[in-house]
Amino acid sequence: MYKIPESVLVVIYTEDMQVLLMERADKAGYWQSVTGSKDFPDEALQVTAMREVQEETGIVVADQPDAVPPSHLSDWQVTNVYEIYPVWRHRYALGVTTNTEHVFGLLVPSAIPVKLAPREHVQYRWLAYREAADLCFSPSNAEAILQLPHHLAR
């Protein structure tokens, strides 16, 4: 089954603007926030974001004890359309070369435990937002992180 070329980018951050970044397992030195495609065309973007956060970090976003409340997940109303890196195009149907990415932010407690999905990421770091932006390989991910102060001011 091919990936759907519509995805989410979730910037996970704390109140003091520390941002979670993870290094990709399939590309050493490529650091990023949580990303992931819809599982099916009608999947709500918020559902995609919550699912991907849980799959990649072990952080649960739900109305239940010991979870991050869904109200802490916000749609930043930013959509990026970008060319899919050639190294990952084989995951998409023949002829698909662009992806539409929707940006979300997730406010988490500073001591939240992170459990990476080993097939996706090999390590993680909490960094000040500017450092995190500088480390990202993806320009759209870096730009989203740099917008964090604007979203906290709301």
For the stretch 39-68, pLDDT in tens is 999 999 999 999 999 999 999 999 999 999
153 pLDDT band, cuts 50/70/90, is confident
Whole-number pLDDT of residue 121: 96
Whole-number pLDDT of residue 154: 67
Mean pLDDT to the nearest integer, 67-86: 95
For the stretch 79-97, pLDDT in tens is 999 999 898 899 999 999 9
Whole-number pLDDT of residue 82: 92
Mean pLDDT to the nearest integer, 27-39: 96
| pTM for this entry | 0.95
Q: What is the 3-state secondary structure (H, E, C) of the chain?
A: CCCCCEEEEEEEECCCCEEEEEEECCCCCCEECEEEECCCCCCCHHHHHHHHHHHHHCCCECCCCCCECHHHEEEEEEEEEEECCHHHHHHCCCCCCEEEEEEEEEECCCCCCCCCCCCCEEEEEEEEHHHHHHHECCHHHHHHHHCHHHHHCC
For the stretch 17-30, pLDDT in tens is 999 999 999 889 99
d(CA 43, CA 118): 25
For the stretch 110-134, pLDDT in tens is 989 999 999 999 999 999 999 999 9
